Amino acid sequence: MLIKRIYLKNFRNLKSVLLDFNSDLNIIVGDNGQGKTNLLEAIYYISTGRSHRTSTDKELINFSEDDNSDNKKLIIQTKILKEDKLNQKLSLQIQGRDKLFKVDDKEVEKISDFIGKLNVVLFSPEDLDLVKGGPANRRDFLDTEVSQVNPYYYHQLKKYEKVLKQRNNLLKEIRYNSNKDKSVLEVFTDQLVSIGSKIIKKRQEVVEKLKILARLHQRKLTDNQENLKVIYDPSFEFENIKNIEEEFNEIITKKIDKEIERGYTLIGPHRDDLILEINGYDIRKFGSQGQQRTAALALKLAELEFMKSESGEYPVLLLDDVFSELDGIRRQELINFIGQRIQTFITTTDKLLVEDIASDEDKYFYIKSGKFY
Ligand SMILES: Nc1ncnc2c1ncn2[C@@H]1O[C@H](COP(=O)(O)OP(=O)(O)OP(=O)(O)O)[C@@H](O)[C@H]1O
C-alpha cells in the first residue's frame, strides 16, 4: 500500500501543498516548527479519521493572520495505490463543524466505511507513553491497530463508548435519586456486556498474535538481550473466553450496588490494560528510558506485521523524528526492517542522521515555514 500523491489546503501551517511521493523512502527535512509533523499528521488523519495530536478538529484549520476568516475549508486529498494496482482517491474536508469523507469522489456515510482504506503505523517520540503512560495509551494502541484492519471492530468500539456514557450517566442519576426506575439500567448493562464481550474477545485474539511479533522485534533490536512479554490484562478475571458474556454479566451484576455508589461502570474493556515485561520485570514502571523506547518501537513494528498479516499489505510507516532518539544498533535494525518493502516517511531536522539510508537526492523533501522547496 502506498501514497502516490497528497494535496493539502489549510492544514495547520500547510496552506497549499501538492507532493508526489516515492514508493519506498520519503525524508522530510526542516528545522523545528516548520511543518514536518503537520504533514505526517495529515497522512495519519486521512488514514484513521482523527489526529494523533488533538481531538479538536478546529485546531487543525490554518489560522494565519493574513487570512483569518471563520469559514476556511481544510482539505486533505490523497491518491493511494494498493497491491491490486488500483488507484483510489481519498479525501476529507472540514469546514466549521462539517466534516466530509469521500472515497473516489463519493461521499461515505459512515466513517467506518472510510477507515481501513489507507493503513498507517506512526512512531513518534510521544510513543514512549505507550509503555510509560497510563492504560489508555495501550488501549488506544490496540484499538487503532485493530480498527484499521477491521472496520466492524471500530463500529463496536463506537457503540460501546456510547452505551458506556449512557450507563454512567444513569448510574449517577440513580446515585442521587434512589427511587429512579432501574429497568433501563438493565437494558444498558445487557448492551454493555454484549458489545464489551466482543471487544474483549477480539483484543485477546490480537494480543496472542502481537506478543509473538513484539518479542521477536525486541530481541532483534537488542541483539538478543531482552525478552519482551506482552500480556493482556482485562479489567476482571474470567475462566473461559468462550463464556465471556456470561461471566462478564455475572460479575457486573454483583458490582451494581458499588457502581451506583461510585456513579460509573467499574469493569469492562474501557479499563483493560497490557502488561509489558522484560526479562521478568514490569517495564511500565521499572524499565529504563532506553528499554521503554525500544519496547515501544518493538510494539509498533509488531503492529505493522500484524496489519500486514490481516490485510495482506504492509501499511505505510510514519517515523516522526525518531532517529535522533535511537542508538546505532536500534537505528540499523529499523533501517533493515524498512528495507525496500514498506513506504516510509521520515522527518528529521538533521539530514546527516539519515544519510546512510538514502543516497538518492530524490527522496528528500525540504520544508520551511509550511512551504516545500
Ligand atoms: N492551525 C494552525 N494554523 C497555522 N499554523 C499552525 C497551526 N497549528 C500549528 N501551526 C504551526 O505549525 C508549526 C509546527 O509544525 P510541526 O509540528 O509540523 O513542526 P515540526 O517541523 O515537526 O517541528 P519539530 O521538529 O519541532 O517537531 C508551528 O510553527 C505552529 O505555529
The per-residue pLDDT for 11 is 97
Atom of ligand 1 nearest to the CA of 41: 18
If you average pLDDT over residues 42-47, what whole number do you get? 97
Q: Which of 10, 37, 54 to mutate to test the pocket of ligand 1 (most atoms within 8 A of CB)?
A: 37
Atom of ligand 1 nearest to the CA of 347: 22
Q: Indicate whether residue 143 lines ligand 1 (CB < 6 A).
A: no
Q: Which of 9, 38, 371 to mutate to test the pocket of ligand 1 (most atoms within 8 A of CB)?
A: 38
| Nearest protein Cα to ligand 1, atom 24 | 32
* 42 compared with 68, residue with greater pLDDT: 42
If you average pLDDT over residues 46-56, what whole number do you get? 93
* 53 compared with 336, residue with greater pLDDT: 53
32 annotated as a binding-site residue = yes
Ligand 1 centroid–CA 137 distance in Å is 23
Phi-psi region of 264 (alpha: psi -120 to 50; beta: other; left: phi over 0): beta
The per-residue pLDDT for 13 is 96
The per-residue pLDDT for 68 is 65
DSSP letter, residue 61: B
SS3 assignment, position 275: strand
The per-residue pLDDT for 335 is 82
253 annotated as a binding-site residue = no
The per-residue pLDDT for 4 is 96
The per-residue pLDDT for 327 is 81
Phi, psi of 106, deg, nearest 5: -105, 130
The per-residue pLDDT for 246 is 96
The per-residue pLDDT for 340 is 65
Atom of ligand 1 nearest to the CA of 35: 18
Rounded distance, CA 115 to CA 202, Å?
Answer: 18
The per-residue pLDDT for 369 is 96
The per-residue pLDDT for 360 is 81
Q: Indicate whether residue 321 lines ligand 1 (CB < 6 A).
A: yes
- Residue 274 scores a pLDDT above 80: yes
Ligand 1 centroid–CA 134 distance in Å is 26
Ligand 1 centroid–CA 32 distance in Å is 8
If you average pLDDT over residues 127-138, what whole number do you get? 95
285: nearest Cα among 131, 128, 141: 131
pLDDT tier for residue 65 given thresholds of 50, 70 and 90: low
> C-alpha cell of 317?
510507516
What structural domains does the chain harbor?
1-119+315-373 (3.40.50.300), 128-312 (1.20.1050.90)
- Residue 299 scores a pLDDT above 90: yes
- Residue 356 scores a pLDDT above 90: no
36 annotated as a binding-site residue = yes
Q: What average pLDDT does the structure give for the chain?
A: 93
Give CA 334 to chain center in angstroms. 19
Ligand 1 centroid–CA 14 distance in Å is 9
**DSSP H or E segment with residue 16:** strand 14-20
56: nearest Cα among 108, 9, 94: 94
If you average pLDDT over residues 126-140, what whole number do you get? 95
The per-residue pLDDT for 326 is 82
Ligand 1 centroid–CA 38 distance in Å is 6
Q: Indicate whether residue 35 lines ligand 1 (CB < 6 A).
A: yes
- Residue 328 scores a pLDDT above 90: no
Give CA 279 to chain center in angstroms. 27
SS3 assignment, position 247: helix
93 annotated as a binding-site residue = no
| Nearest protein Cα to ligand 1, atom 7 | 12
pLDDT tier for residue 323 given thresholds of 50, 70 and 90: confident
- Residue 337 scores a pLDDT above 90: no
Please state the pTM of the whole predicted model. Answer: 0.91
The per-residue pLDDT for 159 is 97
> C-alpha cell of 367?
520544508
Ligand 1 centroid–CA 33 distance in Å is 5
pLDDT tier for residue 37 given thresholds of 50, 70 and 90: very high
Q: Which of 9, 10, 12, 73 to mutate to test the pocket of ligand 1 (most atoms within 8 A of CB)?
A: 12
- Residue 209 scores a pLDDT above 80: yes
227-271: per-residue pLDDT in tens? 999 999 999 999 999 999 999 999 999 999 999 999 999 999 999
Atom of ligand 1 nearest to the CA of 34: 21
